[in-house]
Amino acid sequence: MSGNEDVTHLEEELPLQPLPLDAWHRAKGARMVGFAGYHMPIQYEGIMAEHSWTREHAGLFDVSHMGQLTFSDDSEGRGVDDALEQLLPSDIKGLKPFRQRYSMLLDEEGGILDDLMVSRVGDGAFDGADIYMVVNGATKYDDIGWVIEHLPDEVVMNHMDEQALLALQGPEAGEAMAALVPGTADLLFMQSGLFEWRGVPLWISRSGYTGEDGFEISLPADDAKLLADALCELPQVKPIGLGARDSLRLEAGLPLYGHDLTPAVSTIGADLGFAIQKRRREEGGFIGHARVMKELAEGPGSRRVGLKIDGRLPAREGANIFAGDVLVGEVTSGGFAPTVGAPIAMGWVSLPHAAIDTALEIEVRGKRIAATVAPMPFVPHRYRRKA
C-alpha cells in the first residue's frame, strides 16, 4: 500500500509536524521538505543513488505520516465487516486473519476518495482490533471524517497516531528483516504477522510501494529509532527519502493519490478493478457501486495508462496529451526513470487512444514530444509469492 508521495507538490500552508524520527533523519544528513503536514526527508545522498540502492539492495523509508486506523466491534457478531463492506468495494468478509488487501474509499458518485491497505488482525494485535487499515497521509483526516460519518455506532475506529510506520524495500529486504526478526522469512506478499523484537511489538506486512519485495512495519513511535538504527547497521540497508520513493513507485506503475487518482476518476478507468472481487461486483451494497457496474458494462470514458517518452526530456504532471491535433488526455505523474534509463509518465487518456502501442504526443515547454502508450509496470514487480 499502499503510500503516496509527490516531490513536485511539497508546499504546506499549516505548521509542519515532526515525524517520530525527525532528529534521526537530520542526523543522517537528510534534506527535509514539507509534505502532508510533516517535515519529510526528500533525500540523503541523492535521489538517483538512493533509487538504485533500493533496486539492488534494501532501502528504509519513514512513512509515519500515513494514517493508521483500527476497527473494533463493541458488540458480538461481524459488525465491522458489514460496516466496512458498505464503505469499501473489496471483500472484507472473505479476508482471512493475517492477510491484507488493496482497496479504496469511493464517494457516492464512484469517484476515488483514497486508496488504502486493509488487513485482518489476528489475536493479540492492536488491543484485539478486528481490522487494521493504512490510508494516505495527505488525506487521512478527510478519510477519518468520511469513515466516522458512515460508521454505525457499534463499530469503534481508533486513529493510532502514537504508532510509527517504516518500510523496508528491495531485493535484500527479506534477508535484512530476517536477520532481526527471523519469523518474517515465512511471510509471503500481502501476508502480515505480529512479532516481537527486543520486547517491542511489531506488526509487519510483506508489502510496499516500490514494486520490490519488502515490508511495512508498524511499531510504537518511541521505539522507531531503535529499530531504524538496527536496520541501518546491516550492510544491505540505507535510509531512503521521498524523492526515490516517488521514482520507484512510478517505475512500478503504482498510482499516486491526489494525482493519478482523484474523486474525478473511477476505479475501472484507473485499472483497479482487481480490488473489487466477484462477490462484491455481484452483490453491490457499497458506496459508488452504480458507477462501477456501469463502467464494467459499458467501459470508462478514459483510462489510466503508462507512457514511454522519446528522447530525454521528461513530461511532468499537467502536460497535455494529443493524438494529432486532438487533446486526448493529461499527464498525472512523470519523470526520469533511473532503472529504465529514460523518461516515463502516467496519465489519463480517452478510451479510443488508450490501447498499448498507441502513438501520441505530449506538449512539454511549448513543443510536442513523441510518446507511446506502454504496459505497466515499467519495471517488473518482484514481490515474494508462492512458487
Find out whether 216 is annotated in a ligand binding site: yes
CA quadruple 267, 271, 277, 282: dihedral positive or negative?
A: positive
Tell me the C-alpha distance between 347 and 2, whole Å. 19
C-alpha distances in angstroms, 85 versus 132, 152, 182, 280?
14, 12, 35, 8
Query: In sequence order, which residues have a C-beta less than 8 Å from that of residue 71 and are 6 or more positions away?
Result: 80, 83, 84, 129, 130, 131, 133, 155, 156, 157, 158
Residues 6+ apart with CB under 8 A from 104: 88, 89, 90, 112, 113, 114, 115, 116, 267, 272, 275
Do residues 311 and 336 make contact, with C-beta atoms less than 8 angstroms apart?
A: no
- Give residue for cell 531504524: 228
Cell of 103: 482497496
Grid cell digits, residue 336: 526520469
Q: Which residues are CB-neighbours of 215 under 8 A, at least 6 positions away?
A: 167, 168, 169, 173, 177, 184, 187, 204, 205, 206, 207, 208
**Phi-psi region for residue 299, left (φ > 0), alpha (ψ -120 to 50) or beta?**
left
C-alpha cell at 366: 511549448
3-state secondary structure of 148: helix
CA 201/CA 253 separation, integer angstroms: 33
Is 289:301 a contact under the CB 8 Å cutoff? no
CB 108 within 8 A of CB 115: no
β-pairing verdict for 17-18 and 38-43: parallel
Return binding residues for substrate.
Answer: 216
Return binding residues.
Answer: 216
